[in-house]
Amino acid sequence: MANWITLPSVSVTNGSITVSVTGGVDLSSVQSGWALIVNNIPVEIASGTAANGSGVSTLTLAMPWDGSTITNQPAKVQPTGAPFLAGIKAMQDTNEYAISVHKTLAEIATLDKDVTIKDPTGEEHTFATMRKIAREAQEFFDAAGTAAGYDVTQSATDTGNGANGKPKLLRVGDFGLGGGGLYGVFGIDLNSYIETGVYRNASHATWNNSLNKPASITTTNQTFVLTVDKNQSSAVTQTLHVESNRYFIRSRNIYDVWTPWREVLHTGNLVGTVSQLSSVPTGAIIERGSNANGEYTKFADGTMICSRTVVLQSGFPTSLDSKSVIDDSFVTPATFINTPSVQLTATALTTGNGGSARKAMSAWIRDQATSIVSTPNTFFSRHGVLMKLEERQFNEPDRAVLFFTAIGRWY
């Protein structure tokens, strides 16, 4: 095998197959397949020439020079055969493959895409980059509805979205859910609490200073719990429970208009004290009571029924005829706002002839300021009634019983 040839200075341009050699080196004996080694990079030579009069000879490469342009660099020519050239080619292929893999690795770390690597045999392999894998995993978790990838609320009233633009997961206790209620948020305006949650006052003072609470609650120093439900269209429902076991409900529409508070009636307050404010019921549904003047029943719609039973055991005349009368008067157990409808019935009781017997009697009603009238259910004063009782065609009674009922309105 021929000896290596030392070249003192070579120049070659990127993309060119011609290598210029200075120093008067005769390269006419260089054979096809030999190798030019520049900067430890071997390339295949096709042919060479002798030096010209200026001492410049040339080498023609088998393929264009794909490296950077080289100027006046030392080099060598190595006589070689096919096995060595094959090794050189393998080294070149490995170098190209390493460059390709390095480029692909950079894409895997920085881009959101699929990348393809071709192995030395020519087979292609496609991989998803790390960013694409992370994005697809997040999309999977979001679609699956799991907690992975979601941020968590950072305060008791945090309504913001997380970094992924989606609503945050709720910590136990935030907005009063899963805990004992959110304390200390009241004292200003109940209209301002429109986010879903459970709220309560930390002290009685917050109730006393609160605005837009039910007007029918006149007592102070109340402990309360407010439950708020807000739907996707921003409509709000509030339910208020105060310590006196009273419940109230109201709502706000999408135009920010609130309805009045309405009390929720239950088995604990159906019967109690009725009340009203501007003709709107604010208390119980039914109220029952009694006093020395009789019994009364009031209803939340304003209806009232008063009744009384009067037993007369004295004052009967000894000789009775169709014109004899017995007088009695009394006031109603509760006050009507106007003249009610009145019914008065009477009966006489006697123990004559060894046994009890009932005797029919007639009763009239008159206003205290008017004379007796002959038709029942005609007049009745707001505060009282004067009743006339007449016994007909019977022996003297032991006692007379009057049954009085009045139906009207208390507001």
- For residues 347 and 328, what is the distance between their CA atoms, to the nearest angstrom? 14
pLDDT score of 81: 62
Q: In this structure, is residue 357 part of a structural domain?
A: yes
Within this chain, do residues 303 and 399 fall inside the same structural domain, yes or no? yes
Neighbours of 83 (CB within 10 A): 8
Q: Which amino acid is at 140?
A: F
Counting other chains too, the contacts that 149-156 makes at CB distance below 8 Å and 24 or more residues apart are 156/182
Would residue 274 count as lying in a domain? Answer: no
Cβ atoms of residues 381 and 408 within 8 Å: no
Note whether 390 and 306 are same-domain residues: yes
Residue 313 lies in a domain: yes
Supply the pLDDT for residue 250. Answer: 96
CA atoms of 377 and 389, how far apart (whole Å): 14
Q: Consecutive 10-residue runs of the chain (411 residues): their mean pLDDT?
A: 85 95 93 90 92 94 92 91 65 79 81 82 83 83 64 79 79 68 60 84 70 81 84 87 87 92 86 89 90 93 90 50 46 84 69 45 42 31 40 50 84 93
When divided into structural domains, the chain yields a total of 4
Q: What does the pLDDT read at residue 390?
A: 47
**Is 142 inside any structural domain?**
yes
**Do 96 and 57 share a structural domain?**
no
**114 HSE (CA, 13 A, CB side):** 5
Same domain, 404 and 297: yes
Which residue range is the domain that position 65 belongs to? 5-80
Do 308 and 297 meet the contact criterion of CB atoms below 8 Å apart? no
| Of 9, 12, 56, 50, nearest in space to 30 by CA | 50
The CB density around residue 57, as the number of other CB atoms within 10 Å, is 23
Residues 376 and 296 in one domain: yes
Q: Is residue 168 part of a domain?
A: no
Indicate whether 325 belongs to any domain: yes
User: Cα–Cα distance between 193 and 197 in angstroms, integer?
Assistant: 9
pLDDT score for 243: 79
Q: 363: part of which helix (H) or strand (E)?
A: strand 357-366
Strand order in the sheet with 246-252: 197-200, 224-230, 236-242, 246-252, 262-264
Structure confidence at residue 51 (pLDDT) = 93
